Amino acid sequence: MLFRESMQSNFPLEETSISMVINGGFAIAANPLLGSLNFFINEYESVIRMKTGGSAITIDPTRVIQLSSKPRAFLYKGFLSYEECQHLIHLAKGKLRQSLVAAGTGESVTSKERTSTGMFLRKAQDKIVARIESRIAAWTFLPLGKLYNLFDVLSFIYLRNEACINSKLLFCSDNGEPIQILRYENGQKYEPHFDFFQDPGNIAIGGHRIATILMYLSDVEKGGETVFPNSPVKLSEEEKGDLSECAKVGYGVRPKLGDALLFFSMNPNVTPDATSYHGSCPVIEGEKWSATKWIHMLPIDEVWRNPACVDENDHCSAWAKAGECKKNPVYMMGSKNELGFCRLSCKVCSPSS
């Protein structure tokens, strides 16, 4: 990891602000706008402690392994404790329902490609869940409020969010969906798929999913691996030894209680990464429990608007011919603070702009 490379050899324990590079090329920096956010570094330990609002989150970079650069994938060994895993499973028991997949209409539907059962927790449902969510944000640095400069992801801009900081959580998870708990019984699976969206309906809700954090809550006797069939990274024959046949096609990650897998669905230039295609292999022996956190480009309660010169309603052309550009200029053409929905038909821009 690059944490230690930028530190002096004799670095006493002190409160400081540092810049780091982590997670396959994403630039991370402590921002003074966050006020009480501080980093604690000790030469005698390999951990980095981040403190805000009286609550400290410990991240140990020596436990993080980069598995792949295509897709950008990282494994944090022992991210969750046994007690935390059991707590998440306990919250889900008795509330599991058939897992759904995102349809092209923006709705969620059942599918034979995904046969697990699952349920969603509430954000910060209790102190343990809130602590896990803060630890996810501390490790990934995603998200910290609203994310701007999307086409220059090496230059994150973080805005202060008083409500989140005052809640004594490390970061506000505005861009994250609630944690989903999943259970895979014998034979259950999730066929390979993308986590980024390919339809306007889902993209409009917080933009693309840019990253996935998959936490393993149990060991699996056989099967249940996370597999990346399109990854150019291949396992050695020795590494394939304990994997099921499903996980040997591409790059396979065996579930281990407490470990967390982070992978990015988008390239650094914010284009979809085809190598992030992934699935959950069928469970052959035992059962698999996992928890998933998806991170979006924008807060998930914020509707994404296409900044290009386009019409965002199928009726724009007809409305423009009927004179609506003059009758309803704010909606049709926009204002200083808001994009119009029929900018192309109202000729306030050109397709190349």
Q: What is the DSSP string of 199-215?
A: SHHHHTBTS-EEEEEEE
pLDDT of residue 68: 92
59 CB contacts (<8 Å, ≥6 apart)? Answer: 47, 48, 49, 50, 135, 138, 139
Between residues 76 and 138, which one has the greater pLDDT? 76
Beta bridge partners of 102: 108
Residue 25: predicted pLDDT: 37
pLDDT at 158 over 70: no
341 contacts 308 by C-beta, under 8 angstroms: no
How deeply is 87 buried, as exposed, middle or buried, from its count of CB atoms within 10 A (0-12, 13-18, 19+)? middle
pLDDT band at 45 (very low <50, low <70, confident <90, very high): low
User: What torsion do the CA atoms of 256, 260, 262, 263 make, to the nearest 10 degrees?
Assistant: 20
- CA 160 to chain centroid, in Å, comes to 20
**Is residue 17 within 8 Å of residue 50, measured between CB atoms?**
no
Segment 327-339, tens digit of pLDDT:
889 889 988 877 8
Q: How much is the pLDDT for 111?
A: 81
Between 327 and 11, the more confident residue is: 327
* Beta carbons within 8 Å of 321's beta carbon, 6+ residues apart: none
- Model confidence at 231, pLDDT cuts 50, 70, 90, reads very high
Mean pLDDT of all residues in 48-52: 58
- Centroid of chain to Cα 94: 27
- 260-305: per-residue pLDDT in tens? 999 999 898 888 999 999 999 999 999 999 999 998 887 776 665 6
Checking if the pLDDT of 35 tops 80, the result is no
Cite the DSSP H helix spans in the chain: 82-92, 127-140, 162-166, 200-203, 237-240, 316-321, 324-327, 329-333
pLDDT of residue 77: 97
pLDDT for the residue numbered 113: 85
Distance CA 325, CA 8 (A): 62
* 294 strand-pairing partners: 212
CB-based contact 147:137 (threshold 8 Å): no
Written as one string, the DSSP assignment of 6-75 is GS-SS--SEEE--EEEETTTEEEE--GGGSS-EEEE-TT-S-EEEEETTEEEEE-GGGEEEEEETTEEEE
**Separation of alpha carbons 252 and 79, rounded Å:** 19
pLDDT score at 303: 60
- pTM for the full model? 0.69
